[in-house]
Chains A and B, each alone.
Chain A
Amino acid sequence: MEGLVSGSAECLPPDHGRGWDIICSVGRGPGGSVIAGGLGRLWMDRVEDEVLVRRVASGDERALSGLYDRYAGLVYGTGMRYLGDRETAEELVQDVFTSVWKNASGFDPTRASFATWVYRITRNRATDLIRRRKARVRTVDGEPLFEPGETDPSGELSRNFDVAAALSRLTPVHREVLVLAYFHGFSQREISDRTATPLGTVKSRTTAALRALRETLRFDEDRWSADE
């Protein structure tokens, strides 16, 4: 019942759904216990993707909203980067999450993680949009990144979805320091000020969070390679 505990939390202004606007500063209750205050989306925080997608299959729109919070920023960023314009990127997000909603009952968690599944949907929908709109393929340093029939050749897109999934499974305290640093661009001192946490604690917590992320990524790699 932690989510029902009385407490206050200062939520950061939403960063327009970069996928990680779920972060609120975490207050501390008596005895150092964490009070997870904040809005409804925070309550979805610790639930695994696979549990949420099962609820989506049962018609739970809040669960779809929870998955959106975790992955929409990445899907949108993928659209902007590879499809080239905002309108098409928004269309990609709508296509992907509508597909998640329609096909959730067919998702088999024993065959792949949700991140892998939503990555495949994103890749396929992006390919469809490129074909349909004959979108110009953007390049970085003159190298083609994404073409019909040869999507994500470097595996970068797939890897990003795996990292997003791993990040969502960290504890709120660990995720908080990483999100504030990487997605909001805050320095360690700014994180210390915002979260009312001693600077030394922020530094050691950042180390622990990166370590936890690395271990989660390795666990996932071992799990899915063992299943193949």
Chain B
Amino acid sequence: MDLLGPYVMGTLEPYEEREVEYHLERCADCREEAQELQLAHERLADLAYSTGAPPEDLKARVVAGIPRREASRRVPTWVAAVAAAFCVLAVLAVIITPDLFGGRAMASANLSPTGRAPGAGGEVSIRGTGENMEMRLEAWGLPPCKSEQYYELWLVEGDERVSAGSFSVGQSGRVEVTLSAPNFAASYPSVGVTAEYDKDPTASHAKMLSGELHEL
């Protein structure tokens, strides 16, 4: 009974309404379903009635007003000195043993080209643990960036995508960059690279490379 929805909403033409009512008089299952749809209709109507229209700029104000997670704090000088010494040791340790201190790759993807860059390819690896991770991208065969053009790397899940950073490509068509990513980066199933234009606030659909992320 395809017309039951518009029927409970009261949006059918009079002749259609009569047809539905004629049918409902003879079909108990359809009467039961009409009651169910009526309930959904009333719930939605209540929601629409109770929903307001906040000012357009309120979202920006809300986001601007949230406390940042990584607030900088003043620390005593001796603490900074000790921390700096540990940082030097940590860097040395990472150089000597790259698999320690979060240097190990957590996930990787081989990037395949689209029709926009048929000769291109690349690899992405996500490394690290803790608050932030690194995304290392190596790509080749990408068209050199034109004026005000750049590329953007995305973490992708279904219809959603989150930027992992942007980069440029010169005449060589090659790029090797390390971008930072949030600690849940490896939970995304896919990555992609698009071509973007400066001063255009919306993300483009010009996909150049894409690949599935595999945990290691």
Instruction: Answer yes or no: do A and B interact.
Output: yes
Q: Which residue of A lies closest to B7 (CB)?
A: A207
Contact B5 A163 (CB under 8 A): no
B194 within 8 A of A: yes
Report the Cα distance A102→B67, complex, angstroms. Answer: 8
Within 1-56 of B, Cβ neighbours of A (below 8 Å) are at: 1-6, 8-9, 11-12, 33, 36-37, 39-41, 43-48, 50-56
> A-side interface residues toward B, CB under 8 Å?
1-7, 14-20, 36-37, 39-40, 42-47, 54-55, 58-62, 64-65, 68, 72-74, 76-81, 89-90, 93-94, 97-98, 101-102, 156-157, 159-160, 163-164, 167, 172, 178, 181-183, 187-188, 200, 203-204, 206-211, 213-214, 217
Give the secondary structure class of B's interface: mixed
Contact A47 B50 (CB under 8 A): no
B182 within 8 A of A: yes
Contact A4 B50 (CB under 8 A): no
Residue pairs across A and B with CB atoms within 8 Å: the count is 206
Looking at the assembled complex, report how far the CB atom of A167 sits from the nearest CB atom of chain B, in whole angstroms. 7
Contact B207 A183 (CB under 8 A): no
A-B contact pairs, 27 of them (CB 8 A): A4-B156, A6-B206, A18-B51, A44-B160, A46-B158, A46-B160, A58-B182, A62-B162, A68-B59, A76-B52, A77-B52, A89-B52, A90-B55, A93-B54, A98-B66, A156-B46, A156-B50, A178-B44, A182-B45, A182-B48, A183-B48, A204-B2, A207-B1, A207-B4, A207-B6, A207-B37, A211-B5
Contact A73 B51 (CB under 8 A): yes
Contact A59 B6 (CB under 8 A): no
Q: Which residues of B contact A182 (CB under 8 A)?
A: 44-45, 47-48
Q: Which residue of A lies closest to B45 (CB)?
A: A182
Contact A98 B182 (CB under 8 A): no
Q: Which residues of A contact B210 (CB under 8 A)?
A: 1, 4
Contact A4 B4 (CB under 8 A): no
Report the Cα distance A90→B156, complex, angstroms. Answer: 33
Contact A214 B37 (CB under 8 A): yes
Looking at the assembled complex, report how far the CB atom of B137 sits from the nearest CB atom of chain A, in whole angstroms. 16
Contact B3 A207 (CB under 8 A): yes
Contact B46 A47 (CB under 8 A): no
> B-side interface residues toward A, CB under 8 Å?
1-6, 8-9, 11-12, 33, 36-37, 39-41, 43-48, 50-56, 58-59, 61-63, 65-67, 69-70, 154, 156-162, 182-184, 190, 192, 194, 202-203, 205-207, 210
Q: Which residues of B contact A68 (CB under 8 A)?
A: 59, 62-63
Q: Which residues of B contact A164 (CB under 8 A)?
A: 47, 51
Q: Which residue of A lies closest to B157 (CB)?
A: A47
Contact partner of B53 (CB less than 8 A), chosen from A15, A160, A200, A209, is: A15
Q: Which residue of B lies closest to A86 (CB)?
A: B55
Q: Given A159-B43, A210-B40: A2 and B158 within 8 A (CB)?
A: yes
Contact partner of B159 (CB less than 8 A), chosen from A43, A73, A160, A203, is: A43
Q: Given A40-B202, A163-B44: A1 and B50 within 8 A (CB)?
A: no
Contact partner of B46 (CB less than 8 A), chosen from A16, A44, A64, A159, is: A159
Q: Given A16-B54, A16-B55, A98-B65: A203 and B43 within 8 A (CB)?
A: no
Contact A3 B183 (CB under 8 A): no
Contact partner of A203 (CB less than 8 A), chosen from B2, B33, B70, B156, is: B2
Q: Which residues of B contact A172 (CB under 8 A)?
A: 159
Q: Given A1-B210, A207-B1, A210-B8: A160 and B47 within 8 A (CB)?
A: yes
